[in-house]
Amino acid sequence: MAAFATPIDPLPPTDPLDPVAPEEADGLSVEINGVNGGPSGAIVTLLGITLLSVAPALLLMMTSFTKIFVVLAMTRNALSLPSIPPNQVLAGLALFLSIFIMAPVLTEINNLAVQPFLNGDLVLGEAADVGSGPLRTFMLSNTREEDLALMTRAAGMENPDDPASVSLATLIPAFMISELRAAFIIGFVIFVPFLVIDLVVSAALMSMGMMMLPPVMISLPFKILLFVLVDGWGLIITSLIGSYQVAG
């Protein structure tokens, strides 16, 4: 039997609809929330990429990374080892120590801002304000009042009524100045015993008339031996961790 299509009766034509006036809009609006009230996946991805792009600047300016890296680099120079350990090792150690020190702050930011934002309880602006609170508290607790006053005077602003009213534009450079000052103080303390070793070795070589022999070649093994005997890396890392006051 040959296959054939069954004819279907056409639908009757319908009357045209009356035109509807367009609704007036106040302006362009972008909906960032998903169906469950939380942010859409595209918005979360965009915010994640943006955060990754500014993460190096945030790491340098608003965490303990700068101070730790400067102290480790000065320790390496005090040992007369300009390239051992390499910069990649020092940066990696400083990064993970910074994560260890900032863990309570990051946990508080996640609980107060990130998770409520992902659940739809906070909008982006509110989450940013709430999330900056723990970070502001950390920087204020590790910033000298003199540095805050310096940046306030440099900006030509009046003295704030309380630390909570200090703007981030003033707090961040003041925090970095305090971090660099503390790093140089620790570096000076580290340099002193190695400087004494260099002076003793130089004086001994001069007294023996061995002026052509570089004192660094003789003093370097004694510096390394002293550093190992006193567990230098452990002492420095313990001092760096203990120098921070983390609220939370």
Mind listing the pLDDT tens digit for each residue in 111-121? Answer: 887 777 777 77
DSSP assignment letter at 39: B
Q: Is the pLDDT of residue 97 over 50?
A: yes
Between residues 202 and 24, which one has the greater pLDDT?
202
Please answer whether residues 179 and 146 qualify as being in contact, where contact means their C-beta atoms are separated by less than 8 angstroms. no
Query: How far is the first Cα of the chain from the last one, in angstroms, to the nearest whole number?
Result: 84
pLDDT bucket at 28, cuts 50 / 70 / 90: very low
Q: What is the total residue count of the chain?
A: 248
Name 33's bridge partners. 39
Q: Is the pTM of this model over 0.85?
A: no
Check: CB of residue 52 under 8 Å from CB of residue 162: no
Interhelix angle 65-78/232-242, nearest 10 degrees: 150
Q: What is the pLDDT of residues 159-171, one digit of tens each?
A: 777 766 777 778 8
Q: Are 75 and 187 in contact (CB under 8 A)?
A: yes
- For 196-217, the pLDDT digits (tens) are 887 887 877 777 776 676 767 7
